Structure 1
């Protein structure tokens, strides 16, 4: 497992952690204090805001799990990866593609997210 494979595994674990205190610890361990997260539906800065966003997504999709959607492609201090959200096993309800950038300490400082598959309104 590469360092970036581990980072992505930990990243998805944050999105799957439903215990608020445990999730916050995971966020504090993995993300820079001033992390920036942007996708088509959200734009937040800082660990507190990211924690709130993850909690809101969990409320919107209760019981669903984030899982890797393929291999991690990484170089220098950035990685791109696909993820799935849905009931496991089963066809994912949402498919996304993120690019994560690390700071000099190995914390995620920025995530740029894209949604490739979303449920019909």
Structure 2
């Protein structure tokens, strides 16, 4: 679903902690979790800290949607890229997002398809 991926990418692209906290409160469940090969974060604060760490590692880069999301029931899967705005992504990943009954992001299971050498 576009609205889930839009909210998800907006959260990951937000560099300001207060603004990101607001996005997390609006679109992510209280008990949200995020897991990928490099991170395992439970709760909005831990997810925000994970996002901040990515921005420190990849300053000035943005997350973009790659292709079209696929959705059924409360699950959305999509591919994303991380790189300089308007350029080919350096990192490409694939995430599955599960929403709660209110449509808020509850669980994210992430996979990394392409990571530059030394970035992991």
TM-score by length of 1: 0.95
- Quote the Cα distance in structure 1 between the aligned partners of 2:44 and 2:34: 10
Q: How does 1:72-91 map to 2 (within 5 A)?
A: 72-91=69-88
Q: Deviations over 1:7-65 (max 9, x none)?
A: 10111011111111111100111111111110000001001100111111111100000
Report the aligned-residue RMSD. Answer: 0.7
> Which residue in the other structure is 1:22 paired with?
19
Shift of 1:119: 0.3
Structure 1 residue runs of 4 or more that deviate by more than 6 Å after TM superposition: none
TM-score by length of 2: 0.96
Question: Matched residue of 1:69: which SS?
Answer: strand
- Quote the Cα distance in structure 2 between the aligned partners of 1:51 and 1:94: 19
Question: Matched residue of 1:51: which SS?
Answer: helix
User: Gaps (5+ residues) in structure 2?
Assistant: none
